[in-house]
Structure 1
Amino acid sequence: MVKSIADVPNQKECIKSGLLPNGLLTTKEKWSYGLGDLSSNLVWGFIGSYLLYFYTDVALIPVAATGTLFLVARVLDAFIDPVIGGFVDRTNTKMGRTIPYMRYAIIPLAAVLILTFSYVDTGTAGKLIYAYITYIVVGIVYSVVNVPYGSLMTLMTRNSAEKAKLASLRVAGAAIGSIAITALAMPLVNLLGNGNKRVGFMLTAAVFGVIGIIGFEIVARNCKERYLEMPKVGQTSTQRPKVSFLSTYKSVIKNRAWVTTVIFALLLFIRIGIIVAITIYFAIYVLKSPALISVLLPLLYVGQLISTLFSAQVIGKLGHRKANIIANIGFIVSYLILPFTEHIIPLFIAVYLIGNVIGAISAASVFGMNADAVDYNEWKFGQRSEGTLYAGYSFATKVGMAIGSAVAGYALTWIGYSAAHITPSVVSGLNVLYFAIPLVLTVLMLITTLFYNLDDKHAQIVEDLNARSKEQEK
């Protein structure tokens, strides 16, 4: 296994390390990489899908306070993620640049997940303080795992088609993890807690945490770092030129493709956050069927899983910009139809699934967009900065989900939601939250994707980078 840049004196050795001709990856390595997002989503998916419910209905924290909590905690990631990304960019160990973070930080992440879903009987103020501490800490530790994991893709291959496949497998892993969360979380809570949800949530968090540890160990063992910034002949990895944080940030801000990707990801995950948070209330009070919670939430991720069967091919043929235009238009059409099918549940489910399948092309595309932006950054500015660039994407996803959850929390208060008294105006308000807000966000995503400009340039960028590598070997 290639352990560090010091072990790879030239690009030929990179190929010997397990990379197939033309930058292709082995099936084992690709599937191992996808397993990382499955593991991540057992943690973050559990938080995103059930933490609001845990706070309001199990810990009994006021709903308005949770909205502020979600927003404040994730805004702090604006400072944490770039710092972690900067550390990743400057890490050189015998184990590699990204692997040590994934292998060792996943253990405390599992522990903090358990604490996050633990009930403390300390009064409203005490519970809120505890919630702030655990939610902020779990976000920080999650970044220590996920920023290096996301950066790893750019170190594995420069082949754009292979990156699209890795992105699809990430989405597949995330979808499987999320399906497992939405389908199994509440049954596990009831089973392990024996009717006591406070105990059940804590033990369920422990189960998902342990599985996450195993998953990231597989990623660490099977995925190889190849495309690190090569030292000049005679230099060791520790002599690699140092680049200041300020210089790194100046370059990435000038990277149009990356800025577009981050904005696109932010809007995408705000949309996901709102849909996930409101689905529970929508199923109960609009569709009048609590049982549909266990249908609609898993179908959100089933759509992503189905999409992975063809998204890499669509992106490879059309490019990221055109693929995202199709994805967003398909989602808009489906969400315009859905309100008229609420009284025909089978039709509602079918349209809902189709919209999610088409819309999920964006979930795969955004990973590839970010990875290609790393290549552009190296080509244009001489710095790969994969950690910093992925940190921006990671920040966007977490803040997006948090904003979505916060908007959901504030909006529930705005429409006058009270579990003890559901009025017709509340039902109408839930319809607006569930359909109108995601539609507006998707229109903004459609506009944003028009600014992505690497589809026609990336092949030449990779060719130039490979030529530079060969020059360094001489």
Structure 2
Amino acid sequence: MSSNEKIGLKEKISFAFANMGNIPVTALVNSFLLIFYTNVVGLDPAACATLFLIARILDGVNDPIVGYVVDHFPNTKHGHFRVTLMIGSFLCALNYLLLWFGPMMATGFKLGIAYISYLLLGILFPVMDISLNSLLPVMTSDARERDKLSGLKGTIYLLGSLAVGVVGPLVIGDTSKSGGYIALVAGAAVIIFLFSFIGAWGVKERIKAAPGQSYSIKDLYRIITKKPVLVIFLASLLYTTSSYVSSTVSTYNYIYIIGDFSMMSAISMVTVVAMFPGIILSGILSTRIGKKYTYVIGLLACLCFPMLRLINVVSIPVLIISSALASCGAGIIVPQLYSIQADNTDYVELETGKRAEGAIASLSSFVTKCGMGLGGALPGYILAAAGFQKDAAVQTETVKSAIILCCTWIPFVLAIVAAALIITLYPLTKEKLEEQNRKITEIRARTEKT
């Protein structure tokens, strides 16, 4: 099986299914868990903020360990990362039900159950997520095929997030009643396992580690501190935190600023139109100016255009325009994230002689969870400090200002810092990446011959 073999339609569909299965895990937690815990379970927002922050940082420490275990999982006749994806999705789906329904059904120890299940999510989701993100580098070494798969992955993530944004509020209905949450989370658990299993079954792993390419625990620090890996780690941490701050507070924005929770679905439907031009533009820009600067453009668009809302925070037209422009930026940036991750995996192989798909993917998972923790905690702390009252139909001006702060200024500042990091420190320009691809292709061609 050649590492440059073209990816057929059936396998691309399977890859899409695998990515669909990954979406509900963080998308629902990101958008609805805080308001579910405060308005249905009855937990204090500051207590939830502490939970999100502590749990995510603590379980984030285990990501390199999970990545190491996934990388060193025995190869089977069914593959390597495919098997760990199947196992991880099953366990993650079971724990997902506990995360939501455990605190709701308990008569006491609600916060304790939330901590336990949230910590378990931080252990089990990386098995699933790292395995999934390790598939792209081993499915093909052809740069164009990788870009196509990255674009497909980004498209699925955007559409999946959109689906959550549209369907979620419609299914939930009243955010203070449990019925809608039960239906939504139960359906999500089925999707998590079933789609991941079908997807993993249908893809192929063409690139396998040669003897001597496996890395040791001692090599791990050297791998994750390589300059391209470390810079993208820091920039992605800022980007993810920004996104989670904004999306965590978005539900509060529609309820207490816009005054119409159903508008969340309407805006999500509008923004889908803006995503596709971004995805198309991502491929065009990547070819012309390289992935580095395409990523920067998408980053700034995604997180800076929401600042337009400050023109009039209750204006629906302004909300639509700012959301659409930001969605276009998301369409640019998301495909680049996964393609850059694959490039960094190749960089590590050239520099160290070690294949470390799981280690690089575990870093991505670590970033996601740290971003979830920081991004989920900041709105909780800010809302608590501003005096948020869950039973109040109308919040004070201080609370409203806090919501707007989380929707605009915080993401804006973090985006500027992230863009500056990539521009000044990320070394893989378009020209350097072309040279890297040439070298890695030559090495793998020699390996396949032997």
TM-score where L is the length of structure 1: 0.87
**1:198 aligned partner, one-letter code:** S
Say yes or no: does 1:460 pair with 2:435. yes
- Matches for 1:203-214 after TM superposition, within 5 Å: 203-214=183-194
Do 2:154 and 2:334's aligned partners in 1 also have CA atoms closer than 8 Å? yes
Do 2:70 and 2:127's aligned partners in 1 also have CA atoms closer than 8 Å? no
Point out the structure with max Rg over C-alpha: 1
**1:261 aligned partner, one-letter code:** I
Say yes or no: does 1:449 pair with 2:434. no
Do 1:77 and 1:140's aligned partners in 2 also have CA atoms closer than 8 Å? yes
**1:210 aligned partner, one-letter code:** V
Q: How many angstroms apart in 2 are the aligned matches of 1:271 and 1:146?
A: 21
Shift of 1:405: 0.8
1:426 maps to: 399
Shift of 1:262: 1.2
Distance 1:343 1:422, change over 3 A: closer
Q: How many angstroms apart in 2 are the aligned matches of 1:147 and 1:94?
A: 20
1:235 maps to: none
1:413-448 deviation per Cα after TM superposition (whole angstroms, max 9, x unaligned): 122222426222222232222111011011012112
* Corresponding residue to 1:179 among 151, 162, 179: 162
* Corresponding residue to 2:105 among 111, 115, 120: 120
**2:409 aligned partner, one-letter code:** A
Do 1:179 and 1:302's aligned partners in 2 also have CA atoms closer than 8 Å? no
Distance 1:333 1:385, change over 3 A: closer
Q: How many angstroms apart in 2 are the aligned matches of 1:315 and 1:34?
A: 22
Shift of 1:337: 2.3
Shift of 1:175: 1.9
SS of the residue corresponding to residue 25 of structure 1 reads coil
- Matches for 1:169-248 after TM superposition, within 5 Å: 169-189=152-172, 197-231=177-211, 242-248=214-220
- Matches for 1:64-213 after TM superposition, within 5 Å: 64-91=46-73, 92-118=75-101, 119-123=104-108, 126-189=109-172, 197-213=177-193
Shift of 1:333: 5.2
SS of the residue corresponding to residue 279 of structure 1 reads helix
Distance 1:272 1:299, change over 3 A: farther
Do 2:166 and 2:264's aligned partners in 1 also have CA atoms closer than 8 Å? no
What do you get for the CA RMSD once the two structures are aligned?
2.3
Q: How many angstroms apart in 1 are the aligned matches of 2:273 and 2:99?
A: 27
Shift of 1:338: 2.2
**1:164 aligned partner, one-letter code:** D
SS of the residue corresponding to residue 309 of structure 1 reads helix
SS of the residue corresponding to residue 354 of structure 2 reads coil
Distance 1:33 1:154, change over 3 A: same
Q: How many angstroms apart in 2 are the aligned matches of 1:305 and 1:139?
A: 32
* Corresponding residue to 2:385 among 388, 411, 414: 414
Shift of 1:298: 5.7
2:262 maps to: 291
SS of the residue corresponding to residue 258 of structure 2 reads coil
Distance 1:299 1:133, change over 3 A: farther
Q: How many angstroms apart in 2 are the aligned matches of 1:460 and 1:48?
A: 39
2:231 maps to: 260
Shift of 1:108: 1.9
1:336 maps to: 307
Q: How many angstroms apart in 2 are the aligned matches of 1:109 and 1:33?
A: 19
Q: How many angstroms apart in 1 are the aligned matches of 2:52 and 2:271?
A: 22
Do 2:36 and 2:176's aligned partners in 1 also have CA atoms closer than 8 Å? no
2:409 maps to: 436
1:334-369 deviation per Cα after TM superposition (whole angstroms, max 9, x unaligned): 233221143531233123211221244222211111
Q: How many angstroms apart in 2 are the aligned matches of 1:308 and 1:159?
A: 20
Q: How many angstroms apart in 2 are the aligned matches of 1:83 and 1:341?
A: 47
Say yes or no: does 1:40 pair with 2:40. no
Distance 1:68 1:306, change over 3 A: farther
Do 1:36 and 1:170's aligned partners in 2 also have CA atoms closer than 8 Å? no
Do 2:18 and 2:200's aligned partners in 1 also have CA atoms closer than 8 Å? no
Shift of 1:379: 0.6
Q: How many angstroms apart in 1 are the aligned matches of 2:263 and 2:169?
A: 13
Q: How many angstroms apart in 1 are the aligned matches of 2:145 and 2:97?
A: 36
**1:43 aligned partner, one-letter code:** V
**2:415 aligned partner, one-letter code:** T
Distance 1:298 1:438, change over 3 A: farther
Q: How many angstroms apart in 2 are the aligned matches of 1:361 and 1:250?
A: 31
Instruction: State which drifts further: 384-393 or 318-327.
Output: 318-327
Q: How many angstroms apart in 1 are the aligned matches of 2:180 and 2:342?
A: 39
Do 2:305 and 2:325's aligned partners in 1 also have CA atoms closer than 8 Å? yes
1:301-331 deviation per Cα after TM superposition (whole angstroms, max 9, x unaligned): 6654552233223223221221123223434
Shift of 1:84: 1.2
Do 1:67 and 1:410's aligned partners in 2 also have CA atoms closer than 8 Å? yes
Q: How many angstroms apart in 2 are the aligned matches of 1:65 and 1:299?
A: 35
Q: How many angstroms apart in 2 are the aligned matches of 1:290 and 1:187?
A: 9
**1:444 aligned partner, one-letter code:** V
Q: How many angstroms apart in 2 are the aligned matches of 1:242 and 1:146?
A: 20
Do 1:114 and 1:203's aligned partners in 2 also have CA atoms closer than 8 Å? no
Q: How many angstroms apart in 1 are the aligned matches of 2:352 and 2:10?
A: 33
Q: How many angstroms apart in 1 are the aligned matches of 2:157 and 2:233?
A: 19
1:327 maps to: 298
1:8 maps to: none
Do 2:213 and 2:354's aligned partners in 1 also have CA atoms closer than 8 Å? no
SS of the residue corresponding to residue 137 of structure 1 reads helix
